[in-house]
Amino acid sequence: MHNVIASLREAGYANDPTNDMQIIDVPPLARADAEELARRLIEGEQISADDAAAVAEALAAAVDCIPYYIHHVIDQLKRRGGAAGRDTVREVVDACLTDGLDPWHMRHYRQRIDIYYSGSEIPQALGLLDALAGSRKPLIFDDLFNLLKHREVTEDREAALRVLRLLESDHYIVRETSGKYRFRFPLIQKWWRYERGLRL
């Protein structure tokens, strides 16, 4: 919604059509609920597992408790046949993230930047996400900005902060109470590294 409103403002629209709307974030499932969903799907699909609870736990963790991906992994485990275990879950997730046919439509995360961001925002967004994807830990703004300057010729801190706010609004990243930034979902961070050829 914020991207649409930004486009309208660029065209001269001055109103705020969302001023009486409550902004609600739809988070993934709670860990216990995600594990329960995975366990019930394992049982319902009659997937062989030595320890269904352990497989469900690994599955929930591997896909950040997002039901869409839980269902997809279960579908792949069913198709593979054989016994499912923690390693099998990891193999399925990695295979889906690196599959050239993009079965989870992950390239949407890259393509939408070209659609909704403009001008210098695009290389800055890519540079900031690349820096975060390649980091083992959350980063404070100064460290993140220094990494961006290695990728893009910029000294415009305000522009980088604006792009970070956009990336936050678009659910790519979160800012922790410590002020450090990180990917919102480790699954998307992992895919971003694969897609962009980055090393952790």
pLDDT at 1: 46
Write out residues in the chain with pLDDT < 50, as ranges.
Answer: 1-6, 8-9, 13-14
End-to-end CA distance of the chain: 33
Inter-helix orientation angle 86-98/67-80, to 10°: 110
CATH code for the part of the protein at 108-196 = 1.10.10.10
Instruction: From residue 76, give the alpha-carbon distance in Å to each of 18, 54, 73, 88, 117.
Output: 41, 17, 5, 10, 34
Rounded Cα–Cα distance for residues 105 and 114 (Å): 16
pLDDT at 9: 41
Q: Where are the domains of the chain?
A: 31-98, 108-196
